[in-house]
Structure 1
Amino acid sequence: MRETPVVTAVTRISAPVEAVWRVVVALDQYAQWHPVLALDAKAEEVAIGAEVPGRVSGGDATAQEVTMRITEVEPPRRLVWEGGSLDAILGRHSFVLTQQPDGTTELTDSEEFFGANAAELVPALDQLKETYGRYGAALRARVAALSG
């Protein structure tokens, strides 16, 4: 049995969990803050089973079309979506928001990879963790800009 590759990055955000949640579920606004992801769905469309089309761009001129399916929604604490295929790589991405005693929010941004080619990601997990840390920093900056 092979171990499932997982990437996890934790980011502290100086805002209450509800403020962070509003940014996480404003899917149609990801292009304004997320370094590589643009999504085409509004917050009111965030529901289990919803299909969310979008684009992933590695920073170059080309963008890859993607569709995520929302699998879990627990406002204002947890959002999970899946994208890809078990024939290649299926990613299960989760945002978990935890209110801290000091009023900040801890964001745990994690993705598990499944499928025929998932094991190929193992050598890149450290680099992916750094990348996900940048996503958390971008989310923190977006929340701060909307709060300030």
Structure 2
Amino acid sequence: MKEAPVVTAVTRISAPVEDVWRVLVAFDEYARWHPVLSLDAKPEQVVVGAEVPGRLSGGDAAEQDVTMRIVVVDAPRRLVWEGGSLDAILGRHSFVLAPRPDGTTEFTDSEEFFGAAAAELVPTLDQLTQEYSRYGAALQARVEGLPG
């Protein structure tokens, strides 16, 4: 059995985990900071089983509507959602926030891909990793730019 393709980017954010978590789960604010994703849900909908509708735009692909289903919530340390289909590509997207001794947060953004067409992503993994690093930098700028 082949391993699922995975993209991972790590960003150090100069803020405590709780501050990063608040921005990460403020789904209704994504359009203000995320380069390609806007979400149509409120932070109170951060529960396992909740569906989070959104729209991808501004990336290499054409605009598309997406719906993620939250599968893990371990506030304020870990959030996992899935979107897509095993008939094509299903992505399991994980956000892990680890507190560092200096009060900063190590933010790990990763996505594992499954499904009939997942192997087709392998040639684009380096490009996807750069995109996920860009998303982490946008989150970092948003969190660090908020009033203290």
Give the TM-score category using the shorter length: over 0.9
- Rounded to whole Å, the distance in 2 between the matches of 1:128 and 1:110 is 10
Q: Percent identity?
A: 77
Residue number in structure 2 paired with 1:11: 11
1:80 aligns with 2:67: no
Comparing 10-19 with 52-61, which one deviates more in the overlay? 52-61
* TM-score normalised by length of structure 2: 0.96
Other-structure match for 1:135: 135
Aligned counterpart, 2:31: 31
- Cα deviation for residue 66 of structure 1 reads 0.5
Report the counterpart of residue 92 of structure 1 in structure 2.
92
Give the gaps of 5 or more residues in structure 2: none
Secondary structure of 1:147 counterpart: coil
Aligned to 1:120: 120
Structure 1 counterpart of 2:144: 144
Aligned equivalent of 1:67: 67
Structure 2 equivalent of residue 42 of structure 1 = 42
Mind listing any 5+ residue stretches in structure 1 that lack a counterpart?
A: none
The corresponding residue for 1:55 is: 55
Q: 1:69 to 1:147 in 2, by over 3 A?
A: same
1:60 Cα offset (Å):
7.5
2:73 partner amino acid: V
Report the CA distance between 1:144 and its aligned residue: 1.1
Query: Where does structure 1 differ by over 6 angstroms across 4 or more consecutive aligned residues?
Result: none
Code of the residue aligned with 1:84 in structure 2: it is G
Q: How many residues align?
A: 148
User: How big is the shift at 1:50?
Assistant: 0.1
Q: Which amino acid aligns with 1:101?
A: P
